Structure 1
Amino acid sequence: MTRIFKKYIALFSIPFFLFASCEKELSTSPTSSVSEDKLFSTVENIETVLNGTWSYMNDTYFTYANPGYGAILRTSDAMGSDAVINPSKYGFPAAYSFTQMQINNDTRVSAFWTLLYKVIDNCNNIITKIDASVGSQEKKDQIKGQALALRANSYLTLATFYQFTYLKDPEAKAVPIYTEPAKPTSEGNPKASLKEVYNRILTDLKESQTLLSKYSRASSAKYKINTDVVNGLLARAYLNTGNWTEAALHAAEARKAYPLMSASEYTAGFNSLSNSEWIWGHGQTTDQSNASYNFHFLDVSSASSYYYSFMADPYFKDLFDANDIRTQLFLWDGLKGREGSLRYQKFKFRQNQTADIVLMRSSEMVLIEAEAKARGGLLTEAAQRLNELRTIRKASLLDVAGKGAADVIDAILIERRKELWGEGFALSDILRTQGKVTRKAFNTGGANPAPVYVTITTPEGTTGQVPGIGHTVLVFPDKTPFVANSPYYLFTIPQLEVINNPNLNN
């Protein structure tokens, strides 16, 4: 087991419940191996571990369909209402059809669990060992604060997808909590309740906020966690747990330094950390570009995109006003083999085939603030926040006159679907709000439905009429209709975890 601690940077530590499955993979140490004592002896070394953990989280390939943390976000959208996944393309058809994330020996199921708990264990090592290292207190505070927030993000992701919403049952058992580094003698922990998991998340984030209070990052280093990112994570956690006042407060704080993007920025491809409203993201270069592979699924307009599998539901387009700048992104596909699919050309590779990955931005924070205020009964303030976003998107404004809380909340949730499409919030919002997937066939309806024909333009410039392509999966695998709080929405725990951790369900 000791060789595990000699793995390079991000792979130096593996949670005990993964030992059995990873032993073969870990049998060879790289030539850059260092001892555990040396690895954690200085703040400079520990920051290298933290940077490696971040890279592992975002850039690790389990398969080409699972390029790091971004694959979790893609899966969330594939299991939602507004993305139509091409069933013949590699990557996400099984998630789209709800036939994957309930299979406990599936590669993706194992990959997500492994990814999140490896990040947690690396952060546990950093958090517990940084105080004894050589270096300035300022640097120790920065590294520890960032590790606490990164651990909190992993637990927040686990709480989101592995159990129903906190507001349904805070005592529901979710996932194990670990705060100490895994050792060969470690025993598995039982599932903790959602209440316990969120207490851990909030405790970590509050401590992180204090430790990072004096830290300032470069504008080009948006992968570095600062208090803005921490406030954004707090806003998400408080929204999930129904603390509307705190959710609105932290969302407002998170976005202060990040003005909403212009129309030209919105249509530029969602591929750059330099975007004015990005708060947190993962940068990519030509020699470090693994996470860019996410764009082979998201980018439906670049000729170099391999899979172009995330198309839009035609009914999604109907949610937008005619003058909304976001409607410029829709285009009926005229390429051979894709005729009639509806592109939503939000994501585009840069010319060098790289693309930065967005993890948090101001628009989300505006919408958290709006929703929290609406759920707290402050409908006028909620509409003001919503209209702040709609104004810059040139969409019609919401008039709250004569509207109740349910109307305003519904408008905000629809705006989340419109604004955050493809960024990983589809399934998480369905779970959080106890909603349901909404999909219907794109046809004329009635007793004898017929195709809806749409106009396409071919690469040669000719136009024609073809049947528009909408959703192909309209029910759960057992042929029952989509409903709220369905177990089909949840990610299952991998088989190896169940086998290797006898305490899991205690």
Structure 2
Amino acid sequence: MFKKIILLLVIVAIATTSCKEDFLETKPTDAISSNDALATAENMALILNGLHRLLYAQSQTLLSGGDSYRSGNQYWVPLGDNLAGGVIHTASANNLGWQDETRWISHNQETSRTTKQLWYQRYHIVASANAIINKAAEGTIPEDAKMKEIIGQAYTYRAYAYLSLVQHYAKGYLIGNPASDPGVPLLFASKAPFTSEPRSSVQVIYDQCMSDIDAAIGYFEGATARPSGNAYDKSQLNINVAYGLKARIALNMGEWRTAADAAVMARQGYPLMDESDWKSGFNTTLLPEVIWGSNVIGTETTYFRSYFYLMCNTFNGSQNRNNPKIMDKRLYAQIPDTDYRKDMFLKDAPNSNTSASNGMGGWENNTNPLYTTEEEFDAEIDRLASVYGWTSSHNTHPYMHVKMRQKAPGTTDPDDIILMRSSEMYLIEAEAEAMLGNVQAAQDALKPLGEERDSAYDVTIFDTQEKLMEHIKFQRALELWGEGFLYVDKIRWDDEIDHAANGGSGASEGLYQSGFQQDRPSVNDEWVFKIPQEEIDANPNLGPGDQN
């Protein structure tokens, strides 16, 4: 029994901003029954709208027992880069436990907010998807194009949630023994008491993900098309999202051919961004290559719980003013001068923070020969503020990023969360082809992305599988920086974390503590999230021996 799981139908119907106000007004908002919510395709759409909001809302607004310290994917997306050391902190600023994640003292604690809220949020998605899937299976509602769209979204959501769960609460598929490694419990119920199965194997969970996503694609093929032209539209899941998730699932299973083919299908109709779009701030789902993202409703902003609060150096919050986030110096050194992405990482920004963890803040500690006087040092700080819009209270730091920027910099305004882009699909195709030994096919997949970003790009120099994989790792680290992929990438590649190697990343060992160095995931169980102790205590099919 999932102690925290409750059926989302009532809460979803209350929370949605859907135009179906007549449905909402038929009964008091605390009295909408499951039967009503599942009675028609239009009513089921309210459930989906609630799931779209659940992806980014503060948990206490939708989940029983939730609190305000995590706001869904506003936290979970950047966690992938924060935990794996790609996004580097420059000073102490532990709001929301964000620095605890970098120190590896949160995800490996069975009582932490991180382990608990990720688990229950994803299982809420499963339970709500189950409600639609199970109702559709009864055959009482005609499966017209609208209903197929809804069922397709439900299957896609369930695959998405299970993939997230198995990637965090179990050992990586390619670095373990998936047939015997414990995965997570399967849940097919849509009503209390939500009794799950015991922990299934990693293999079973991945198989379920693939089965669900294939079912989703089948339904989407006969479904109404997703509208376009509005940022909210890309909150809805469609066949491209389903193919993109299939590509992710297959990539992490080592099903290379399936991954490559699905990635090609996913990106159809979503052209690569040009330089202007890439440099525009990554703050809207309207960017042309965004396949899926959360359109964060301004009236329901999460303020200091948002993705941009945790990630964006222009956001007006202490997490950013006091602790500018920077790129790994070793990654920056690999970026050619002809690659316009390099412009979004400010190598020569003065270190204005006298509390910086490297002890080099302020003019007195300046070592950058570009600034020969304190006046030049201060003038550059002022110039950067005028260009990027942060306030006079914001600190600057060498290698700080301006990739993610608000539409209204220097404020606490909300912005969209990008969840899937066509660039990722080119990189999945390239990695899959490289792992198959198809050098030419991998080069062909990399070429459009590389040539768009780098005016001197020459893919032919990556002419072996080994060279291709090293280059793909570089491209993923740069192109997808801050978008949450590094944690699962390192697990798939069995790569360690070592901020000291090769001249150092720029991270402080004193600040990072245990997160400064971590051995490879194949030999280090600390990569696996703990199951919430509340779940171990409440679920009759789980016991102390099931804890990671």
Task: Report TM bin, short chain.
Answer: 0.7 to 0.9
TM-score normalised per structure 1: 0.85
Unaligned runs of 5+ in 2: 15-26, 60-65, 355-394
| CA contact 1:8–1:30 (8 Å) conserved in 2 | no
Q: Counterpart of 2:528?
A: 490
The Cα of 1:165 is off from its aligned counterpart by: 1.7
1:299 to 312, 324, 333: 312
Deviations 1:402-422 (A, max 9, x none): 842122111111110010011
| CA contact 1:174–1:193 (8 Å) conserved in 2 | yes
1:146 to 141, 153, 158: 153
SS at match of 1:34: coil
Q: 1:52 to 1:138 in 2, by over 3 A?
A: same
Q: Counterpart of 2:88?
A: 84
Aligned ranges for residues 194-213 of structure 1 at < 5 Å? 194-213=202-221
Deviations 1:248-293 (A, max 9, x none): 1110111110110010111101011110100000112321333881
Q: Counterpart of 1:57?
A: 55
SS at match of 2:514: coil
The Cα of 1:479 is off from its aligned counterpart by: 8.8
Q: Counterpart of 2:18?
A: none
The Cα of 1:333 is off from its aligned counterpart by: 5.0
Letter of the aligned partner of 1:9 in structure 2? I
CA distance in 2, matches of 1:56, 1:251: 26
Q: 1:200 to 1:333 in 2, by over 3 A?
A: farther
CA distance in 1, matches of 2:398, 2:266: 37
Q: Counterpart of 2:371?
A: none
Aligned ranges for residues 247-396 of structure 1 at < 5 Å? 247-290=259-302, 293-302=306-315, 304-308=316-320, 309=323, 310-331=325-346, 332-337=349-354, 338-351=395-408, 353-394=413-454, 396=456
1:69 to 66, 69, 73: 73
| CA contact 2:10–2:30 (8 Å) conserved in 1 | yes
Aligned ranges for residues 439-454 of structure 1 at < 5 Å? 439-440=499-500
Q: Which moved more, 1:336-345 or 1:217-226?
A: 336-345
The Cα of 1:136 is off from its aligned counterpart by: 5.8
Q: Which moved more, 1:145-154 or 1:281-290?
A: 281-290
Q: 1:402 to 1:4 in 2, by over 3 A?
A: closer
Q: Does 1:432 align with 2:492?
A: yes
Q: Counterpart of 2:41?
A: 43
| CA contact 2:186–2:196 (8 Å) conserved in 1 | no
Deviations 1:227-251 (A, max 9, x none): 1111100000111111111111110
Q: Which moved more, 1:337-346 or 1:260-269?
A: 337-346
Deviations 1:427-449 (A, max 9, x none): 11011111112312897x8xxxx
CA distance in 2, matches of 1:121, 1:231: 22
CA distance in 2, matches of 1:32, 1:481: 48
Q: Counterpart of 1:109?
A: 115
CA distance in 2, matches of 1:267, 1:52: 32
The Cα of 1:298 is off from its aligned counterpart by: 1.2
Q: Does 1:121 align with 2:109?
A: no
Q: Counterpart of 2:200?
A: 192
Q: 1:76 to 1:278 in 2, by over 3 A?
A: same
SS at match of 2:497: coil
Deviations 1:78-120 (A, max 9, x none): 1113211245212311111111100000112111001000110
CA distance in 2, matches of 1:86, 1:120: 38
For these two proteins, the number of residue pairs brought into alignment is: 464
Q: Counterpart of 1:472?
A: 509
Q: Which moved more, 1:202-211 or 1:304-313?
A: 304-313
CA distance in 2, matches of 1:148, 1:365: 21
SS at match of 1:152: helix
Q: 1:422 to 1:32 in 2, by over 3 A?
A: same
Q: Counterpart of 1:167?
A: 174
Deviations 1:95-151 (A, max 9, x none): 111111000001121110010001101111111113555566222211111000001
SS at match of 2:306: helix
SS at match of 1:222: helix
The Cα of 1:388 is off from its aligned counterpart by: 1.6
| CA contact 1:314–1:470 (8 Å) conserved in 2 | no
The Cα of 1:401 is off from its aligned counterpart by: 5.4
CA distance in 2, matches of 1:114, 1:234: 23
Q: Does 1:416 align with 2:453?
A: no
| CA contact 2:314–2:406 (8 Å) conserved in 1 | no
Q: Counterpart of 2:537?
A: 499
| CA contact 1:228–1:254 (8 Å) conserved in 2 | yes
The Cα of 1:32 is off from its aligned counterpart by: 4.0
Unaligned runs of 5+ in 1: 13-28, 446-467
SS at match of 1:187: coil
| CA contact 1:441–1:474 (8 Å) conserved in 2 | no
Q: 1:398 to 1:6 in 2, by over 3 A?
A: closer
Q: Counterpart of 1:227?
A: 239
The Cα of 1:179 is off from its aligned counterpart by: 1.9
SS at match of 2:183: strand
SS at match of 2:443: helix
| CA contact 1:375–1:405 (8 Å) conserved in 2 | yes
Q: Which moved more, 1:282-291 or 1:105-114?
A: 282-291
Letter of the aligned partner of 2:457 in structure 1? L
CA distance in 2, matches of 1:476, 1:420: 26
CA distance in 2, matches of 1:158, 1:87: 31
Deviations 1:468-502 (A, max 9, x none): 95343698739975334322222111001111124
RMSD over aligned CA atoms reads: 2.8
Q: Does 1:218 align with 2:230?
A: no
Q: Counterpart of 2:368?
A: none
CA distance in 2, matches of 1:350, 1:478: 32
The Cα of 1:369 is off from its aligned counterpart by: 0.5
CA distance in 1, matches of 2:101, 2:118: 13
CA distance in 2, matches of 1:481, 1:38: 51
Letter of the aligned partner of 2:258 in structure 1? E
The Cα of 1:55 is off from its aligned counterpart by: 1.0
The Cα of 1:166 is off from its aligned counterpart by: 1.1
Q: 1:109 to 1:202 in 2, by over 3 A?
A: same
Q: 1:476 to 1:378 in 2, by over 3 A?
A: farther
Q: Counterpart of 1:19?
A: none
